[in-house]
Amino acid sequence: MKLFDGGRAPNPRRVRVFLAEKGIEVPLVPVDMGTFGHKDAELTQRNPLQRLPILELDDGTVLTESVAICRYFEALHPAPPMFGEGALGSAVVEMWNRRMELHLLMPVAQAFRHIHPAMKEWEVPQIAEWGEANKPKALEFLAFFDRELASREFAAGDAYSIADITAMIAIDFMKPARITLPDGLSNVGRWYSDVKARPSADA
C-alpha cells in the first residue's frame, strides 16, 4: 500500500491529518505539484482526473478522493470514530463535513485558484472577479459556524471528526487565498486553537 501525496495542498493534507488521528502509518510517495508531477503519465494512469491524493493498495486497486480514502481506513480501523457513531451521529458528521466542503473549503479554494498569481497556469481561465466573489461566501459561512459553536466543542458535536479536519484545513488555506479571518468570531477562534493544538494538525 502507498499514498501518493501532494504536500501542503488541502486534500492530501486532509488524508494525512485523518491518518495521524487514527495512528495509521502509510508509506508516502511525495509528488511535486508545483512542477505538475500529478499530471505525469504514471499518475494519470492511476487517476485520469490528475488529482491527489491517490491510494494504491497492495493488489493494485486505486482509490482517489480524500474522503473516500478516509472512509476506507475508517472501515478498517473504526476507533477512534471519525465519521460519527450510529445512524444519527454518522448523518450529523456527514452533514457538517459536506457543509465545510461546499460552503468553506470550496469558496476558499476558488479564491485561491482565481486570484493567486502562482495559479495562473493551473486555472485557465483565471477570473479574478470570481475569486473575489467567493471571499464573502467563506466569511458568511464562518459567521454561521461561529454561532453554531456556541453550543458545542467541535463541528459536529462533542467529538472531533472529519468535519473538523476539513474546516481546519480550509481556514489554514485562507492565508494563501488572501482571506483574513474576521475579528469577533470568538467561538471559531476557540475551536481553531483547540484543533490546531492537536498533534495531528502538523501532519
Q: Which of 29, 53, 76 represents a domain boundary (last residue)? A: 76
Identify the pLDDT of residue 149.
Answer: 98
Identify the pLDDT of residue 110.
Answer: 96
Q: How far, in Å, CA of 3 to CA of 116, rounded?
A: 28
Sheet strand arrangement including 2-5: 28-30, 2-5, 54-56, 62-64
- Strand, coil or helix: 187: helix
Instruction: Please give the average per-residue pLDDT across 130-156, as a whole number.
Output: 97
- pTM, to two decimals: 0.96
SS3 sequence, 8-25?
CCHHHHHHHHHHHHHCCC
Task: Report residue 167's pLDDT band, with 50, 70 and 90 as the boundaries.
Answer: very high
Q: Which domain holds residue 60?
A: 2-76
H or E segment at 4?
Answer: strand 2-5
Q: Which of 53, 76, 99 represents a domain boundary (last residue)? A: 76
Instruction: Please give the average per-residue pLDDT across 111-139, as a whole number.
Output: 92
**DSSP secondary structure string, 51-64?**
-S-EEE-TTS-EEE
Same domain, 92 and 67: no
- Chain-centroid distance, C-alpha 202: 14
* Chain segment 84-112, per-residue pLDDT in tens: 999 999 999 999 999 999 999 999 999 99
Same domain, 104 and 191: yes
What CATH number is given to the structural domain containing 150? 1.20.1050.10
Identify the pLDDT of residue 42.
Answer: 93
Residue 126 lies in a domain: yes
Same domain, 92 and 191: yes
Identify the pLDDT of residue 34.
Answer: 85
Please state the domain count of the chain.
2
- pLDDT at residue 118 above 90? no
Contact (Cβ atoms closer than 8 angstroms) between residue 103 and residue 141: yes
Instruction: Please give the average per-residue pLDDT across 42-53, as a whole number.
Output: 96
Identify the pLDDT of residue 120.
Answer: 83
Instruction: Please give the average per-residue pLDDT across 102-129, as a whole number.
Output: 92
Residue 81 lies in a domain: no
Instruction: Please give the average per-residue pLDDT across 40-66, as a whole number.
Output: 96
Percent of the chain with pLDDT over 70: 100
What CATH number is given to the structural domain containing 10? 3.40.30.10
Residue 157 lies in a domain: yes
Q: How far, in Å, CA of 84 to CA of 101, rounded?
A: 17
Q: How far, in Å, CA of 52 to CA of 106, rounded?
A: 16
Residue 94 lies in a domain: yes
Same domain, 55 and 96: no
Span of 52-66, 81-95, 117-131, 158-172 with lowest mean pLDDT: 117-131
Residue 112 lies in a domain: yes
